[in-house]
Amino acid sequence: MDLRSVFNRLFLLSGLILMAAGCADIARDNPLDPRNKDSRQMQTVLIEAFVNTANTQNYNEMMLAALDSLQRRHPQKLQMAVYHRNTPDFPDALHINESELQYQRYLTALGATDKGTPDLFINGIHQRVQGASSVNTALLRLEAALANALNADGYYSIETDINRSGNQLDTEVTLARLGSHNGRDLRVKAMLIANLGAPHSQHTVTAVTRSAAISRLNAGEQITRALNGLVLEHAAPHRLLILVTDENESTVYQCSMFSL
Amino acid sequence: MKKRNMRNLMPLTLTLLLVSCNSLDKLINGVAPEVERITLTQYEIDPGDTLTASVVVDTGDDPMQFEWSVNGGQLLPPTDGSSVIWRAPVTGGQYRLKVKVSNEIGTDKAEQNITVRSYINPVISIQSPLGGQFFTQYQRIPVAVSASHDNGIRALRLFTNDTLRASLDGSAAQSYLFQNVLLGVAGQMEIKIEAVANTTDAVNADSVFINVEGIVPGKK
C-alpha cells in the first residue's frame, strides 16, 4: 500500500468522523420534523355537514352554498365532508349508515337530543352550527364559528400509501406525533369524498372505514395502521380523507385530503 | 302662729286634692280615642290635585289632638284638625296618609292609601334575547323583560311577528320571564313585549329582532 492511498483513506476516515460529529450537533429545528420538540403544523379544520337534500325546504342547499363560499375563502385551511341523512318524511338517496352513526356520536358527546338538518360540526364537537335561513347568514355564522379553529396548531402529520384494485381501496396510514407531548387513545379512519358534479355536491361522503385504534403515540414517533375495504361505488371523481380523532370519534385532531 | 299657717294652707291643699281627684277620676273613668278609619273625598287622584281627608273617631273624651303625616305631597294648613286638605305630588304612585288622635287618656292611629295616577308610559326593556342573535327553528327560548310604572304593571303581552303568543300578570317585581317561547318560523323574527300600567292603562313596548335558522327536523 503506498503512502498516498494510506493518506487518502485516513483523510476519508477523518472526514467521516468529523461529519458524524457534526451531524450529531445539528439542531432539529425543522418544524415538521417529528423529533423536533417544537414541531407542529397548521391544523387543517374539518367541517362535517349532515344534510338532507330530498326535502321541500331549501335550508340545506343554503348551507351547502355557504360551505362552498367558505372553502373558496380558506382553500388551504379547510376540508369538508358532507354526510346525507334520512329524515322521517324525506329519505335521501345519498344516505349511508355511517352518516347516522357519526351523527349520533356527536349528539351523544354533546348530550344533545335535537336532531335536524342542516347540522354542522367543526373539528368534531368543537363547534356546532345548526340550520340556515339564507346563504349570507349561514356564511356569517360559519366564519364566526371558525374564528378560533383557523390558524390553530396541529400536532399530527398524516401520510398514506394507497393501493387500488378495481373499485376497492386499501390504505396504509402513517401517523407521526409532533411537538413534545404524547398522544393517547386515538383513532384513525378514512373516508371517500366524491364530487358528484351537481351544484354544491363536491364533498359528499360515500364510504367510511371502521376506525383503527392507537393507544399511545409518543412525541417524535410514527405509527402505521391499515384502513382497508373502501369501495368506490360511484363513477364520480373521489378523494381520500384521513382523520385523526379521540377514542370516541367526537373530536378531530387533524385531517388530510389525498388525491386518488 | 302654727295654727294660722295651717289655716292658710288649707285652701291650697283642698284645691290640690280636688284636682288630683278629678285627674284620678278621669284616669279611672275617662275614654281614650278609638279611631275607626280615615275617609277621603277621592281615593284616586291626578297629580297636583287636592282631596280632603277626615278621621272618623268612634269614642274618646274631648279635647282630642290630631296629628297628620304623609310620605309625599303636601298637607295644607291647618293640619291639626279632624280634617285636612292634601295636595298630591307630581309623581304618581301609592302614598300613605296617617293620623294620630290623642287625649289625656290615650292615643289611637289610622292609615289610608291614596293612589296618584301617573299618565307616563311604563318603562320596559327586553333583557334577553339580544338583537341579532341566532337560534334554530323549533327551539324554545326564555324571554327576560324588565318593566316598571309608578302605578305598577297590570299585564305584559308577548308577540312574535305581531301575533300574540303569551301574557303574564303584573306584579311588584320589575323582572319578568316568559319561558319556552317557541320559535316556529324560520327567518328574521320580531319579539315584541307590551307592558300595560295599572290605573291609567298606559302602554309601552320594546322589541328585538332575532334570526331563526330553518331546520328540517330529524327523528327524536
Q: Is residue B202 a contact partner of residue B122, using CB atoms and an 8 Å limit?
A: yes
Average predicted confidence (pLDDT) for chain A: 91
Give the domain-ending residue among A146, A167, A198.
A146
A141 and A61 housed in the same domain: yes
- Superfamily holding B31-116: Immunoglobulins (2.60.40.10)
Residue linked to cell 318560523 = B185
Q: What's the domain range around A255?
A: 153-259
ipTM of the complex as predicted: 0.78
A88 and A57 housed in the same domain: yes
Hey, which residues does B66 pair with through a beta bridge? Answer: B101
A187 and A106 housed in the same domain: no
A254 and A205 housed in the same domain: yes
The pLDDT confidence band at residue B6, using thresholds 50, 70 and 90, is low
A141 and A49 housed in the same domain: yes
Q: Which residue of chain A has the CA closest to B140?
A: A114
Mean pLDDT, rounded, for B174-189: 94
Q: Looking at per-residue confidence, does A193 or A4 come out higher?
A: A193
Domain count for chain A, please give it. 2
- CA–CA gap between residue B194 and residue B158 (Å, rounded): 7
C-alpha dihedral sign at A239, A244, A245, A251: negative
Any domain includes A158: yes
Any domain includes A7: no
Q: How far is CA A92 from the centre of its chain?
A: 25
Whether the model clears a pTM of 0.80, i.e. scores above it, the answer is no
* Residue of A110, A127, A133 to mutate, testing the B interface (most B Cβ within 10 Å of its Cβ): A133
Residue A255: all three cell numbers together: 385531517
ω into B78 cis (within 30 of 0): yes
Per-residue pLDDT at B74 exceeds 70? yes
The pLDDT confidence band at residue A41, using thresholds 50, 70 and 90, is confident
Domain B31-116 and domain B123-213 have a common topology: yes
Any domain includes A181: yes
Q: DSSP state, A256?
A: E
A142 and A205 housed in the same domain: no
Mean pLDDT, rounded, for B155-162: 97
- CA–CA gap between residue A28 and residue B12 (Å, rounded): 123
Any domain includes A55: yes
Any domain includes A6: no
Phi then psi for residue A238, to 5 deg, are -125, 160
CB neighbours of A122 closer than 8 A, spacing ≥ 6? Answer: A45, A46, A47, A128, A129, A145, A146, A149
A130 and A45 housed in the same domain: yes
Per-residue pLDDT at A15 exceeds 70? no
Query: The CATH number of the domain where A51 resides is what?
Result: 3.40.30.10
Contact criterion met (CB < 8 Å) for A116 and B187: no
Contact criterion met (CB < 8 Å) for B215 and A116: yes
Give the N- to C-terminal CA distance of chain A in Å, as an integer. 58
Give the domain-ending residue among A125, A146, A167.
A146
Residue A149: all three cell numbers together: 379553529
Hey, which residues does A183 pair with through a beta bridge? Answer: A217
3-state secondary structure of A191: strand
Contact criterion met (CB < 8 Å) for A55 and B216: yes
Query: The CATH number of the domain where A239 resides is what?
Result: 2.60.40.10
Any domain includes A61: yes
| pLDDT per residue as tens digits for the range B77-121 | 999 999 999 999 999 999 999 999 999 999 999 999 999 999 999
Q: Residue B3's pLDDT is what?
A: 59
Q: DSSP state, B24?
A: H
Any domain includes A11: no
Residue A13: all three cell numbers together: 476516515
> How close, in Å, is residue B190 to chain A by CA atoms?
15
Residues of B in contact with A133 (CB under 8 A): 186-188, 211-214
A48 and A91 housed in the same domain: yes
**Is residue A3 classed exposed, middle or buried when 0-12, 13-18 and 19+ CB atoms within 10 A define those classes?**
exposed
Least confident of A41-45, A93-97, B27-31, B191-195: B27-31
Q: Residue B27's pLDDT is what?
A: 61
CB neighbours of A123 closer than 8 A, spacing ≥ 6? Answer: A43, A45, A46, A149, A251, A252, A253
The domain locations on chain B are 31-116, 123-213
A213 and A123 housed in the same domain: no
Q: Which residues of B touch A (CB under 8 A)?
A: 134, 136-139, 186-188, 211-220
Q: Residue B110's pLDDT is what?
A: 97
Give the domain-ending residue among A146, A177, A206.
A146
Mean pLDDT, rounded, for A147-172: 92
Taking Cα atoms as reference points, which of B134, B145, B130, B148 lies closest to residue B92? B148
Q: DSSP state, B119?
A: -
- Superfamily holding B123-213: Immunoglobulins (2.60.40.10)
Any domain includes A131: yes
